[in-house]
Amino acid sequence: MKIEEQVVTTVAAVLEQDPYVNLHEFPLQLDFASGVLTLEGNVENIMAKKRALEVAGAISGVDRIVDRLRLVPASPMQDGEIRDHVCNSLVSENYLGTCAVWAIVKGKAEVVREADQDMDGNIDVEVQDGVVVLNGAVSSLSAKRVAGVMAWWVPGSRDVVNGLEVIPPQEDSDDEVVDAVCLVLEKDPFVNASQIRVRSSGFNVTLEGVVRNQLEKKFAESDAWYVFRVDQVTNLLMVSE
């Protein structure tokens, strides 16, 4: 068996065993050449997407991954509708109140919130085939992460490419991740963040505490997965009912 075929077979076998990745209902196309593995296809949710990338990247011989995995949208939307929802979410988010917001429509920038002397950042929003692309600059890693989650929360989003630059640059850390996850949980109206404890080690997040029901437990875990650079989530939340 050629090395290319061997790597593809190994990746497929490992993904088959992963509890988050449902290859039976959501089969993926795998291609491997010169150390580059391409994953393409639809996945059920953010957990499946990130787990597939994490598991595949750990296989011997895989040097780089091309990510073409797309979420099946909770509510199918046209690109313009997704873009409008993302822009409105960014504008209404107080944490991003000092960021100008621009919508990129057919390659041209349209003002959503105009820049002024009090602004310390700018966010460009473009959507192509359900994939939200964020470019520009923000003043903190937390702002970058919150903007990304706002885009993920739009039901029609199939993927989010967070290209926001942090100016001045900040060193990332587990503490930064914990702060961002806590901030996102507080902003989720379906989650009681006061009852949830967040830990992170090596960008692997652990959630502990008590939630009201299974749905809240699921929402809290999804929120953590949505946060930029979170590689793994261990959900130890207990349901009170």
133-178 pLDDT tens trace: 999 999 999 999 999 999 999 999 999 999 999 999 999 999 999 9
What is the distance between the alpha carbons of residues 43 and 27, in angstroms, rounded to a whole number?
Answer: 8
Last residue of a domain, one of 166, 188, 223: 166
Pairing relationship of beta strands 108-113 and 99-105 according to DSSP bridges:
antiparallel
Could you tell me if 150 and 179 lie in one domain? no
Give residue 217's pLDDT: 97
pLDDT in tens, 160-169: 999 999 999 9
Average pLDDT, the chain: 95
Q: What is the CATH number of the domain that holds 8?
A: 3.30.1340.30
Could you tell me if 62 and 122 lie in one domain? no
pLDDT over 90, % of the chain? 92
82: CB partners within 8 A, 6+ apart = 127, 130, 132, 154, 156, 157
Buried b (16+ CB within 10 A) or exposed e, 84-110: bbbbebbbebebbebbbbbbbeeeeee
Range of the domain at 127: 79-166
How many structural domains does the chain have? Answer: 3
Could you tell me if 89 and 157 lie in one domain? yes
137: CB partners within 8 A, 6+ apart = 121, 122, 164, 165, 166, 167
Last residue of a domain, one of 71, 87, 110: 71
Could you tell me if 190 and 155 lie in one domain? no
Q: Give strand pairing partners of 113.
A: 101
The pTM of this model reads: 0.93
Say if residues 127 and 107 touch (Cβ distance below 8 Å): no
Give residue 116's pLDDT: 82
Say if residues 166 and 138 touch (Cβ distance below 8 Å): yes
Nearest to 213 by CA among 185, 237, 189, 235: 237
Could you tell me if 134 and 184 lie in one domain? no
Could you tell me if 94 and 161 lie in one domain? yes
Could you tell me if 207 and 132 lie in one domain? no
Last residue of a domain, one of 116, 149, 166: 166
Could you tell me if 59 and 87 lie in one domain? no
What is the distance between the alpha carbons of residues 30 and 34, in angstroms, rounded to a whole number?
Answer: 14
Please state the φ and ψ torsions of residue 68, each to the nearest 5 degrees: -120, 30
Could you tell me if 86 and 56 lie in one domain? no
Could you tell me if 14 and 65 lie in one domain? yes
Could you tell me if 13 and 33 lie in one domain? yes
Per-residue pLDDT of the chain (241 residues; tens, 9 = 90+): 588 899 999 999 999 999 899 999 999 999 999 999 999 999 999 999 999 999 999 999 999 999 999 999 988 999 999 999 999 999 999 999 999 999 999 999 999 999 887 788 999 999 999 999 999 999 999 999 999 999 999 999 999 999 999 999 999 999 999 999 999 999 999 999 999 999 999 999 999 999 999 999 999 999 999 999 998 999 999 998 6
**Torsion angle in degrees (nearest 10) through CA of 121, 123, 124, 127:** 170
Could you tell me if 87 and 160 lie in one domain? yes
